[in-house]
């Protein structure tokens, strides 16, 4: 076991999601609450059924208000430090379902300022370029341009900065240190920066000039920001933001979040070619198979640790029946690792083939999504 580290800037080690719920002080996403969400949404989603989203803050409050006809907005985002990979898109796929199902406005923050401040090697020009590049991957998922608003921080600074200073005034250095682990070596831009990610939690209320509660679908590493935002909300007269948290898509190499810094080969980018997809999965996807075909047939594989199976479960095989068949065939030894990998490779190649087309189309529509002030 390698030590678990989960902060907004670093995710590594073997991740214990139960422990995270305790440490972060979030709530379990119970079956009962999932049913309530499905009822309000009018449909189910495999990421809920499989507990890919497993934790929340006040989702029950958001659903109750939604049921009463009160306004709600969705908020999520992306830190543009490089190419988009499949793990980044996991919460966005679910966000698309939520937006369609709830008919809510959606705010998408792209934090080029954050990545400039926290990555010594990145220039301001570079993070801005990545911001508009990554936006294409988000738009490509088919969000409704009339209800979806993309914020690129340095290009929406007037509004965000004016909100952020109000938030920042209510957050002490000792609480920022406790929540984010800042030290005296942290640059002062970073110390202030959490106020910028908290600002969109209240932006719908500001823009619509009435109380709009936000619901944030995001991976759990972003939760520390919501803690800060929820603390200051009553002090500023806004509704507390609510959140629904996902697990991470594991790296091809095995447990721990898929991270570009671990290596280009354990990550699949949205711009990878079909050949690259095949090569990466064949060569690098951690396998739950046995040492020899004979042994595999006898003892069966271990889908619980097999990354290809996990990717199918978490993101790429929405059909429960098909997934169950794969699980059983692999576990019994009927299906070999190569066959399992071939299923995943085909799924991802198809997904990316379509995604790349949509990504190109998105270039023409980019302007319709970008919020300007």
Q: What residues line the site for ligand TRP (CB under 6 A)?
A: 8, 75-79, 109, 111, 114, 197, 216, 218, 222
| Neighbouring C-alpha atoms within 13 Å toward the C-beta of 234 | 2
CB of 171 or CB of 336, closer to ligand TRP? 171
Eight-class DSSP state of 16: -
Q: Name the residue whose CB lies closest to ligand TRP.
A: 79
Residue 151: CB minimum distance to ligand TRP, A: 9
CB of 262 or CB of 342, closer to ligand TRP? 262
Task: Please answer whether residues 29 and 228 qualify as being in contact, where contact means their C-beta atoms are separated by less than 8 angstroms.
Answer: no
Q: List, edge to edge, every strand of the sheet that includes 72-78.
A: 27-28, 53-57, 242-246, 213-219, 72-78, 105-110, 148-152
Q: Which two tokens stand for residue 357?
A: 């087309």
Nearest alpha-carbon partner for 157 in 110, 216, 202, 217:
110
Residue 172: CB minimum distance to ligand TRP, A: 21
CB of 99 or CB of 308, closer to ligand TRP? 99
Rounded CA-CA distance 219/19 in Å is: 15
Helix axes 223-236, 17-24, angle to 10 degrees: 20
Q: Which residue has the tokens 């990979």?
A: 85
Rounded CA-CA distance 211/38 in Å is: 24
| Neighbouring C-alpha atoms within 13 Å toward the C-beta of 315 | 22
Rounded CA-CA distance 85/92 in Å is: 12
Is 368 strand, coil or helix? Answer: helix
CB of 77 or CB of 82, closer to ligand TRP? 77
CB of 48 or CB of 216, closer to ligand TRP? 216
Rounded CA-CA distance 6/16 in Å is: 10
Task: Please answer whether residues 202 and 236 qualify as being in contact, where contact means their C-beta atoms are separated by less than 8 angstroms.
Answer: yes
Residue 125: CB minimum distance to ligand TRP, A: 19
CB of 203 or CB of 345, closer to ligand TRP? 203
Residue 126: CB minimum distance to ligand TRP, A: 15
Residue 188: CB minimum distance to ligand TRP, A: 18
Residue 28: phi, psi to the nearest 5? Answer: -65, 140
Helix (H) or strand (E) holding 76: strand 72-78
CB of 111 or CB of 267, closer to ligand TRP? 111
Task: Please answer whether residues 93 and 316 qualify as being in contact, where contact means their C-beta atoms are separated by less than 8 angstroms.
Answer: no
Identify the bridge partners of residue 348 per DSSP, sorted by sequence position: none
Residue 3: CB minimum distance to ligand TRP, A: 22
Helix (H) or strand (E) holding 218: strand 213-219
DSSP string, 292-322: SHHHHHHH---TTT-HHHHHIIIII---HHH
CB of 245 or CB of 331, closer to ligand TRP? 245
CB of 216 or CB of 345, closer to ligand TRP? 216
CB of 75 or CB of 369, closer to ligand TRP? 75
């Amino acid at each position: 076991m390698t030590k678990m580290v989960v902060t907004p800037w670093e995710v590594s080690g073997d991740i214990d999601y139960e422990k995270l719920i305790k440490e972060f002080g979030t709530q379990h996403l119970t079956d009962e609450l999932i049913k309530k969400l499905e009822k309000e949404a009018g449909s189910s989603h495999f990421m809920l059924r499989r507990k890919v989203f497993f934790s929340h803050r006040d989702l029950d409050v958001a659903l109750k208000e939604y049921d009463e006809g009160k306004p709600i907005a969705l908020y999520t985002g992306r830190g543009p430090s490089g190419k988009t990979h499949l793990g980044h898109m996991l919460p966005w796929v679910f966000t698309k379902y939520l937006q369609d199902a709830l008919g809510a406005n959606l705010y998408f923050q792209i934090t080029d300022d954050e990545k400039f401040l926290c990555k010594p090697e990145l220039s301001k020009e570079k993070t801005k370029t990545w911001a508009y590049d990554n936006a294409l991957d988000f738009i490509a998922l088919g969000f409704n341009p009339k209800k979806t608003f993309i914020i690129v921080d340095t290009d929406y600074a007037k509004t965000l900065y004016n909100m952020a200073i109000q938030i920042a005034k209510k957050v002490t250095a000792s609480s920022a240190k406790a929540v984010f682990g800042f030290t005296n070596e942290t640059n002062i831009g970073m110390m202030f920066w959490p106020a910028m990610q908290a600002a969109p939690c209240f932006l719908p209320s500001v823009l619509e000039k009435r109380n709009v509660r936000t619901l944030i679908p995001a991976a759990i590493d972003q939760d520390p920001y919501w803690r800060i935002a929820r603390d200051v909300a009553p002090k500023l007269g806004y509704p507390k933001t609510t959140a629904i948290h996902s697990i991470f898509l594991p790296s091809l190499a095995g447990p721990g979040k898929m991270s570009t810094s671990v290596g280009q080969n354990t990550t699949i980018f949205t711009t990878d070619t079909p050949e690259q997809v095949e090569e990466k999965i064949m060569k690098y996807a951690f396998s739950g198979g046995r040492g020899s075909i004979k042994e595999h047939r006898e003892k069966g594989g271990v889908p619980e640790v097999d990354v290809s199976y996990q990717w199918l479960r978490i993101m790429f095989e929405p059909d429960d029946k098909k997934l169950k068949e794969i699980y059983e065939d692999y576990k019994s030894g009927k299906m070999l690792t190569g066959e399992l990998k071939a299923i995943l490779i085909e799924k991802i190649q198809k997904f990316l083939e379509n995604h790349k087309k949509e990504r190109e189309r998105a270039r023409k529509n980019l302007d319709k999504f970008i919020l300007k002030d």
